[in-house]
Amino acid sequence: MSVEAPEARMSVAELAPDTTPAAPAAALRIALVGNPNCGKTALFNALTGARQKVANYAGVTVERKEGLAHGPNGETLRVLDLPGTYSLRARSPDEVITRDVALGRLEGETPPDVMICVADATNLRLVLRLVLELKQIGRPMVLALNMYDIAERQGWSIDLDRLSRELGMPVVTTVATRKRGLDKLLVAVEAVAGAAHEVPAWREPSAGELRAAHAEAERIRKTCIRPPSHPDTLTGRLDSVLLHPVAGVAILLTVLFLMFQAVFSWAQPPMDLIKSAFDHLSTLITQVMPDGVLRSLICDGIISGVGSVLVFVPQIMILFLFIILLEDSGYMARAAFLMDKIMGGAGLHGRAFIPLLSSFACAIPGIMGARVIDNKRDRLTTILVAPLMTCSARIPVYTLIISAFIPNRAVWGFASLQGLVMFGLYATGILSALAVGFVVRKVFWRGATEPFLMELPAYKRPDAKNVAMGVLTRGKIFVKRAGTVILAMMIVVWFLSSVPGPPPGAVGPAINYSFAGMIGHGLEPLLRPIGFTWQIAVALIPGMAAREVAVAALGTVYAVSGGEGATGPLAGVLHAHWSLATALALLAWYVFAPQCAATLGVIKRETNSWTWPTVTFFYMLALAYAAAFATFHIAQAFGA
């Protein structure tokens, strides 16, 4: 069977939402263009004070970002950060944005007054051709040689004056991460901004013209740039081990394994601290406030619900500490290289690795990151499987159930069993994404996958500030969600669990007579075959907003239920109420469950169609139900 891949009818304007702060209409507009992974976003952050994500691999920026900076005389400048590209012959949607902004073709976007072509000073081979292409547009331009400190350290010798004369534009050296060279850069920008220029009609260069441009770029490179006399061989030596087909894969698995072990063992002390802080707060409120509806709302609804989610902040921050360290060092690009063969076997494009990697944080940037894939079928396949990667919202669900049901004991003398189960859940997510990709590309949309070309960045020592900012940002996002979406949902869940009250003479917990009880009992027959209780059914509904809301909802539902075994840490409460088979079935459910409205929303936005979010929802729901059903019955057969 073969189904025609749809046209992903994306308009570029849709891909580039305007979120710019107000600036004077006459402010100078500066666009940052350059090859992928040359430090455009680092320069953008340095100029504007923004905190956009930067990492040591190509394809991090997939949409245009705008911010305000101040020129040498205090005047306001509008700075535009654009996705990286090697040429104006754009193929993927992110490259189309860069080309259209540079050419002034993007609808609703004023053409830039000046372009800053950002280049990695240690790797000028490909950027010179892009500079020559950009020159054809005719806009005033400045070349910023970024990471110049590394180039100097490595022994590169660049004749800046000659390079400037050859290219016919100012050349400025910068170190964006240290905010060096920014003043000179802005002075150069202002100097060229006033120069008269005309914008000729641009047409896509032919292959012959590109070859000629490449030859000219090579001539300039050889004239102006002298490579180090003692080339740095560290990257090569490290790669001979880390990219080895056997040793490389073994090292990658070991790194991931150690990461999940650390998530469990390092996070415990801060988690205990947060847990006891919420317990104290609840006790204090119980002592201070008289018994009543408001106290129940605060203690059973807000503190039990939001508190049970906030406990997981340390684990999320530790996980991201590892991910950001691996990204910044340049190792993640190597992981993409190692995974390419496996992913290609499953029908996924090699460039899908970075979007899928982003999905470990959240499926939304992962789905948006699929814009780096130019083939529409490959891009849609990546979008369809991205929600299967284990996002950070699943961590609270997984860790809650693991800590409640999996004993904290060592296996093989050194590994924690809980960490091992967590590793297994992540591996299941990855394997299921590969399996779904295989079915989609080999059964429905048959066709050859395109070869994967990716420039491997040099290894770098991670920048402490960038790592700290990245970890704090992830923590802040999680806490903000807890204080907004989760807080509001828990108040609603508390209301549904408390109203209406039990009739006179009723026996059993009051929640049985509430709206939530009615909904839960109504859904129970559907979920009984997979071992779920009616309380789980209640938690799954608000969990549609975001997966971690289910944990908060369980906290609230059991707190409102009261009764024996309903007090104390949520993990203990669940252990008292659920069988091991039910717990394992819920874990299997959450590997696949399409419980994230925002993800479905972004799939709709990226494909400009309701078809694909609908397909995603139903295929994931079917997989979740089947996996939970199989897990529950197999576990029961083993006496769990």
* Shortest distance (Å) from residue 299 CB to other proteins: 12
* Shortest distance (Å) from residue 559 CB to other proteins: 15
* Shortest distance (Å) from residue 546 CB to other proteins: 10
* Shortest distance (Å) from residue 66 CB to other proteins: 17
Let me know: does 437 contact 344? Beta carbons within 8 Å: no
* Shortest distance (Å) from residue 617 CB to other proteins: 15
Contacts of 101 (CB under 8 A, 6+ apart): 31, 64, 80, 82, 109, 111, 112
Our CB check for other proteins shows the closer of 300 and 328 to be: 300
Say whether residue 53 binds other proteins (CB under 8 A): no
118, two tokens: 């950002």
* CA 562 and chain centroid, separation: 39
Say whether residue 519 binds other proteins (CB under 8 A): no
The Cα 453–Cα 460 span in angstroms is: 21
Say whether residue 294 binds other proteins (CB under 8 A): yes
- Binding part of the chain for other proteins, among 116-124, 178-186, 191-199, 293-301 by CB under 8 A, reads 293-301
CA 469 → CA 143, 235, 327, 504, 590, distances in Å? 28, 26, 14, 56, 29
Strands 114-120 and 65-70: unpaired
Helix (H/G/I), strand (E/B), else coil: 105: coil
**Residue holding tokens 């007090």?**
567
Our CB check for other proteins shows the closer of 362 and 588 to be: 362
Our CB check for other proteins shows the closer of 255 and 597 to be: 597
283, two tokens: 């006790």
Give CB contacts under 8 A, 24+ apart, made by 212-219: 213/129, 213/132, 213/133, 214/129, 216/132, 217/125, 217/128, 217/129, 217/131, 217/132, 218/128
List residues bridging with 226 in a β-sheet: 157
Say whether residue 588 binds other proteins (CB under 8 A): no
* Shortest distance (Å) from residue 545 CB to other proteins: 6
b/e per residue, 555-587, with b = 16+ CB within 10 A?
bbbbbbbeeeebeebbbebbbebbebbbbbbbb
Say whether residue 290 binds other proteins (CB under 8 A): yes
Say whether residue 107 binds other proteins (CB under 8 A): no
Q: Which of 245, 292, 407, 505 binds other proteins (CB under 8 A)?
A: 292
Say whether residue 321 binds other proteins (CB under 8 A): no
* Shortest distance (Å) from residue 605 CB to other proteins: 9
Let me know: does 596 contact 393? Beta carbons within 8 Å: yes
Nearest to 444 by CA among 380, 497, 489: 380
Our CB check for other proteins shows the closer of 266 and 495 to be: 495
- Binding part of the chain for other proteins, among 94-102, 294-302, 420-428, 583-591 by CB under 8 A, reads 294-302
Say whether residue 492 binds other proteins (CB under 8 A): yes
Q: Which of 27, 435, 491, 519 binds other proteins (CB under 8 A)?
A: 491
Burial of 610 (0-12, 13-18, 19+ CB in 10 A): exposed
Our CB check for other proteins shows the closer of 385 and 602 to be: 602
* CA 510 and chain centroid, separation: 42
Letters for 522-551 (x = contact with other proteins by CB under 8 A, - = none) are -----------------------x------
Letters for 461-490 (x = contact with other proteins by CB under 8 A, - = none) are ------------------------x-xxx-
Say whether residue 13 binds other proteins (CB under 8 A): no
Q: Which of 281, 458, 523, 597 binds other proteins (CB under 8 A)?
A: 597
Q: Which of 297, 456, 458, 523 binds other proteins (CB under 8 A)?
A: 297
| Chain contacts with other proteins (rule: CB under 8 A) | 290, 292-297, 485, 487-489, 491-492, 494-495, 545, 597
